[in-house]
Amino acid sequence: ETGVTQSPTHLIKTRGQQVTLRCSSQSGHNTVSWYQQALGQGPQFIFQYYREEENGRGNFPPRFSGLQFPNYSSELNVNALELDDSALYLCASRGGLAGGNTGELFFGEGSRLTVL
Amino acid sequence: DQQVKQNSPSLSVQEGRISILNCDYTNSMFDYFLWYKKYPAEGPTFLISISSIKDKNEDGRFTVFLNKSAKHLSLHIVPSQPGDSAVYFCAASARGSGGGADGLTFGKGTHLIIQP
């Protein structure tokens, strides 16, 4: 059973550019969520996808968007990058019903984004 | 406004002694609480959780205590081992163990250092 894998592990972008981060969910998990962890902070919920649709969102602007594919893999897209977007982006997956009360989150190692 | 607070950025404990990590929350809607452990260059790993209908949950060396009236929970590690050195995040949810469509709300973390 493979765990949650993310790519790339590190990347550097400049302000105003766009970035796409990728995530492969743990086998059998149908729900994926993304978190942003800024330096010295805890992870902050960006959004959740279930069956290829976003069904939950934290306090992030629309320039943060995502996709979930039929194989449950996922992408996080960030447009018009700002310096404050520099952070570790964590993908997490779980099984169970969307919005339901089952299944702890399993996190990937994260993608560290630096915006210059 | 931080809904989950970990007021100790770091904690140093001697090997073999008890480690006690504390967490406070403000949102009365939280009904599920989790502890995650994070090593450098790895994603957070689920450690232990507790539902609001309980006041204690134990798993081997790890015990979590919940005081709902005080909106406080603590993680006890007995005995502490060198491999326990990591950052520990307290997280809370109003929708069960996976956070549901609202995601998990994390504290800033406590860096636990176990000294030989």
Q: How confident is the model over A49-74, as pLDDT tens digits? A: 988 899 899 999 999 999 999 888 99
More reliable by pLDDT, B62 or A50: B62
d(CA A92, CA A68): 13
Task: Please answer whether residues B39 and B79 qualify as being in contact, where contact means their C-beta atoms are separated by less than 8 angstroms.
Answer: no
CB B91 within 8 A of CB B102: no
| Confidence label for A101 from pLDDT (cuts 50, 70 and 90) | very low
CA distance B107 to A8: 26
Q: Which chain A residues are closer than 8 Å to B104 by Cβ? A: 43, 45, 105
Q: Which residue numbers of A have CB closer than 8 Å to B's CBs? A: 4, 31, 33, 35, 40-48, 55-56, 58, 90, 92, 94, 96, 98-110
Q: For the CA atoms of B50, B54, B56, B58, what is the dihedral angle to 10 degrees?
A: -60
Partner residues linked to B86 by β-bridges: B112
Probe site for chain B from A21, A49, A55, A101 (most B CB atoms < 10 A): A101
- What distance in Å separates residue A80's CA from the closest CA in chain B? 25
Look at the alpha carbons of B72, B47, B92, B32 in this order and tell me if their dihedral is positive or negative. Answer: negative
Q: Is A60 helix (H, G, I), strand (E, B) or coil?
A: coil
| Mutation choice for A interface testing from B35, B37, B53, B102 by most A CBs within 10 A | B102
Minimal Cβ distance to B44: which of A55, A58, A107:
A107
Mean of pLDDT over chain A: 90
- Distance of residue B31 Cα from the nearest chain A Cα, in angstroms: 11
Give me A84's structure tokens.
């404050």
| Mean per-residue pLDDT over chain B, rounded | 94
Length reported for chain B: 116
Q: Two tokens at A63?
A: 């320039």
